[in-house]
Chains A and B, each alone.
Chain A
Amino acid sequence: MSALVIAEQREGKLNRATWEAIAGAQQASGAIRIVMPGAGVDAVAGEVAAAACDEVIAIDDAALEHYTADGYVMALAALIEREKPALVFLPHTYQTRDFAPALAARLSRALITDVTAVKKDGERIVYVRPMFQGKLNADVAAAGPPPHIVTFQIGAFRGDAATRGAAAAPVRKSGITIDASAIRQKPEAPFKEAKQAVDLSQAERIVAVGRGIKGQENLKIAEELSQAMGAEVAASRPICDAGWLPMDRQIGSSGQTVAPKLYVALGISGAIQHLVGMKGSRTIVAINKDADAPIFEVADYGIVGDLFEVVPAMIAELKKG
């Protein structure tokens, strides 16, 4: 079945979740093509052409320079109607959440969101999506005529697991033009916080601290470890509630959801509210005094011990290398 993967970029910078969507699409379908909407996207289209795919289709139009729901729905609906794929995949990003429902409604096609796994049931593709905040997994199949539109949960597939092609895939222009006057939204300049907000979902390594850190003055030990590892510092809720770290560093159900390659949890007991925000991490290392702490149920490597003894030893070892 032919599939389109809708890539996401902003100002020419690829959103990492695109690779995850490519990996998911490759599992679901043998023949995938990647669509890159935007303006001046040659370089970023070339970047995703490294994936094993039939081709990359660039919808390059000045009207798509800044994201608008109308612009994206118009461009993608026109392309999908022309190319007639059986499946359309997107990463479940904030931007996708904004326009995918409208796209599905415009095409009158089924939309399955937040998919975490793909299974084959004979000819049919069955999608797994979480319910009850991740407590249950439902198997869902799309009804109605193709194409079916599917979004993949961030972190459900590993971007580095996407198969790369032997040679770069060809990039072609879609030839689709957009009537800029039909776009109703008028985007203003992107809102930038005075202080650079961190996007932890893009971090490859994270050192997270919890209540076990005891006092704000002890945060420097976590900062030292993160510097030695090239990691971002994050925290569980109590740390941010106490104001020891800003709220944008909070991981969990009321903070960010992350899936880095390496997640080091220092003194985090592993309340379920925290686990749902980081359990997709590839490798989890937990250091906690309490051997019964739930964090050890999700950890790949667990150290039962005092973080104030273990972490300095880790830093010393990392500095040797």
Chain B
Amino acid sequence: MDRETLEVDILIVGGGPAGMSAALRLAQLQKQQGGEPLTIAVLEKAREVGAHMLSGAVLDPRALEDLVPGFRQKGAPLASEVHHDHVYFLTHGRKFAFPITPPPLKNHGNYIISLNRFVKWLGGLVEAEGVDVFTGFAASELLFDDDRVVGVRTGDRGIGRHGEVKSTFEPGVDVRARVTILTDGVRGNLTKSLVRRLALDDGRSPQIYALGIKELWEVPKDRVPPGTVIHTMGYPLRMEEFGGGFIYVMPDGVVSVGFVSGLDYRDPMFDPHVTFQHFKRHPLVSAMLQGGQMVRYGAKALPEGGWHSIPRAYGDGVLVAGDAAGFLNSMRLKGIHLAMRTGMLAAETAFEAVRANDVSAAKLQAYERRIDASDVRSELHPVRNVHQSFGHGLLAGLAYSGFSLISGGWWVRDPMPSHAGFERMLKIADYYKDGRPDPDATVRPARIDRQITFDRLTNVHFSGTRHAEDQPSHLIVLDTDICRTRCREEYGNPCTRFCPANVYEMVDAGDGTKKLQINASNCVHCKTCDIMDPYQIIEWVPPEGGGGPNYDGM
């Protein structure tokens, strides 16, 4: 096949906060140090920069200050400085304020932002430096020379639903690079395959994820002062489940409301989307949303495992930064600044290696040393066991969190043992000993009023997600027989519940049984199915470039 090839010095895969920070840093180094100009390219699967960006979001500006000094004057889109912090413990119908704001949740000096707008702005700075940002191109596989990464291949376009070549067919492009920086986000498909191939997670704890579901609302102005940040624990989760809600208030009555559920729950009937609806019906939240309008919806997984779950983030010709490697502080619910910082450190390492004409793993190991010397380690290392402690329930987690502030994160067993989230899910027979629930019904349904609460399908519409319909499913289920037989019996098809976008449906097979239907075009690229499927037979691969959500303003 005739395939185009593009040669660059440094390739960045994924135009999020980590990727864009890496690109900008490279351009800055180039300017400062001069010499033969390096070619730098960024690949981004979204149609436009920022369209797949989803976060709360509260930004700790530390890394930004270093990357873009004077960022306030340079038009950084910061919706509001944080003025009010509240943390509540919720019960059904009531709220209890924490007597003091726990130190990790103090947000004074931070900013409420739309990550979509923020990354668009960063992307603008990157492009202004002459870096090529190729939007609408998904990297489908890594190119190797033995075990050395030499670039990526982008996905083919114009393949039909059944794999047939259409008249619009265009083969993917081979982008060859001396150093490839992977910033493909949480559970990135390239990082996943790299970690497997090179066993980069050897000796590390399994990654633990959570799923964040968020809506953007417009409510009457001045209902809540802009700059208000609210975090909640407790209801609608039970003591055994990890997670919590957030409400961030921006100017002009724009409110970001969301709920994060740990993807390590035991109850196979647990439903993160329904949990979010219960959260919105709590008086604390419903009073705020009443009479307003939901304007956007989205969902994204978060890597919450912390320091012990970060794989070796370098190899021959390759570096990994941001959420892709798990640089996120789950105690502070923040990862943007760490994504930016690790992106910048990866850029510095890559630049140095290319200049020295040595892109071996030994040379790129400098990345690890840079991280260890930076505020990434000083922030993540002391809380290295906190998320694991929540695996023993909310009370144990809170108790250990307090203890870790004194002990510097020490524990009798360090790393504290933990399991991958999907391994913790119990079978229906083991969890529901008193009677088997109907796998097609919700155990604790929330009332859907289409004012404050919505069904999944309506929500999906507001993610703006679009995919070319006539393409193969980008969610590959290796054996759908398991779905209709074993999984239905053992777990009751949890994919129909943990997917926040109604991708997975069990429909009548016509013979009295149910079969799996994959509505791939609903997918919002959150990666939850790839993470949480108890049999690990769902593989998320990138759809045709440009497909996916449109998180304008999210």
A interface residue numbers (CB < 8 A to B): 132-133, 135-136, 215, 238, 241-242, 247, 253-254, 271-273, 276, 294
The residues of B that contact A133 with a CB separation of less than 8 Å are 461-462, 464
On chain B, the residues within 8 Å of A273 by CB distance are 457, 460-461
A-B pairs with the 5 shortest C-beta distances?
A272-B461, A271-B457, A272-B458, A273-B461, A132-B295
| A135/B457 contact (C-beta < 8 A), A241-B517, A241-B519 known | no
Q: Is the CB of A271 within 8 A of B458?
A: yes
The smallest C-beta distance from B226 to any residue of chain A, in angstroms, reads 20
A271 and B454 CA atoms in complex are apart in Å by 11
Name which of A238, A271, A272 has the most chain B CB atoms within 10 A of its CB: A272
Most chain B beta-carbon contacts within 10 A, residue among A215, A247, A271, A276:
A271
- The CA of A273 and the CA of B461, in the complex, are separated in Å by 6
B469 in the interface, Cβ–Cβ < 8 Å?
Answer: yes
Return the chain B residue nearest A253 by Cβ: B461
A273 to B459, CA, bound (A): 10
Q: List 16 A-B contacts (CB under 8 A).
A: A132-B295, A132-B296, A132-B552, A133-B464, A135-B293, A135-B295, A241-B517, A247-B469, A253-B461, A254-B466, A254-B469, A271-B458, A271-B461, A272-B457, A272-B461, A276-B461
Q: Using an 8 Å CB-CB cutoff, how does the interface string of B470-509 with A read, 1 for contact, 0 for none?
A: 1000000000000000000000000000000000000100
Q: In the bound complex, what is the Cα–Cα distance between A271 and B502 (angstroms)? A: 12
Q: How far is the CA of A136 from the CA of B450 in the complex (A)?
A: 16
Residues in B whose Cβ lies below 8 Å from that of A215: 510
Q: Is B228 an interface residue (CB 8 A)?
A: no
B488 to chain A, nearest CB (A): 20
Decide if B295 touches A136 in the complex (CB within 8 Å).
yes
How many residues of B are counted as interface, with CB atoms below 8 angstroms from the partner's CB atoms? 19
Query: Which residues from A are CB-within-8-Å of B296?
Result: 132
B503-554 contacts to A (CB < 8 Å): 507, 510, 517, 519, 521, 552
Measured in the bound complex, the distance between the Cα atoms of B470 and A241 in whole Å is 11
B519 neighbours in A (Cβ, 8 Å):
241
Closest Cβ of chain B to A244, distance in Å, is 12
How many angstroms from the CA of A254 to the CA of B466 in the assembled complex? Answer: 8
- Chain B positions within 8 Å of A242 at CB level: 507
How many angstroms between the C-alpha atoms of A254 and B517 in the bound complex?
17
Chain A residues positioned under 8 Å from B521 (CB to CB): 254
- Hey, which chain A residues are within 8 Å of B457, CB to CB? 271-273
| Contacting residues, chain B, for A238 (C-beta < 8 A) | 507
Question: Which A residue's beta carbon lies closest to that of B218?
Answer: A136
Cα distance A215–B461 when bound, in Å? 26
- Cα-based distance from A238 to B522 in the complex (angstroms): 13
Contact of A294 with B295 in the complex, beta carbons under 8 Å: no
**19 further contact pairs, Cβ within 8 A, besides A132-B462, A133-B461, A273-B460:** A132-B295, A132-B464, A133-B462, A133-B464, A135-B462, A136-B295, A238-B507, A241-B517, A241-B519, A242-B507, A247-B469, A254-B469, A254-B521, A271-B457, A271-B458, A271-B461, A272-B458, A273-B457, A294-B450
Residue of B nearest to A294 (CB): B450
A203 to B517, CA, bound (A): 31
Q: How far is the CB of A183 from chain B (nearest CB, A)?
A: 23
Kindly list chain B residues whose C-beta atoms are within 8 Å of the C-beta of A241: 517, 519
A residues near B295, Cβ cutoff 8 Å: 132, 135-136
Interface 0/1 of B31-53, CB less than 8 Å to A = 00000000000000000000000
Give Cα A269–Cα B519 distance, bound, in whole angstroms: 18
CB-defined contacts of B552 to chain A, threshold 8 Å: 132
Chain A residue contacts of B458, Cβ below 8 A:
271-272
Q: How far is the CA of A271 from the CA of B517 in the complex (A)?
A: 18
CA distance A132 to B462 in the complex (A): 8
Q: Which residues of B contact A294 (CB under 8 A)?
A: 450
Chain B residues contacting A135 (CB-CB under 8 Å) are 293, 295, 462
**Which residues of A have CB within 8 Å of B464?**
132-133
Bound Cα distance A272, B465 (Å) = 13
In the complex, A238 Cα to B507 Cα: how many Å? 10
Residues of A within 8 A of B469 (CB): 247, 254
CA distance A253 to B521 in the complex (A): 11
Query: Cα distance A123–B406 when bound, in Å?
Result: 70
CA distance A244 to B91 in the complex (A): 48
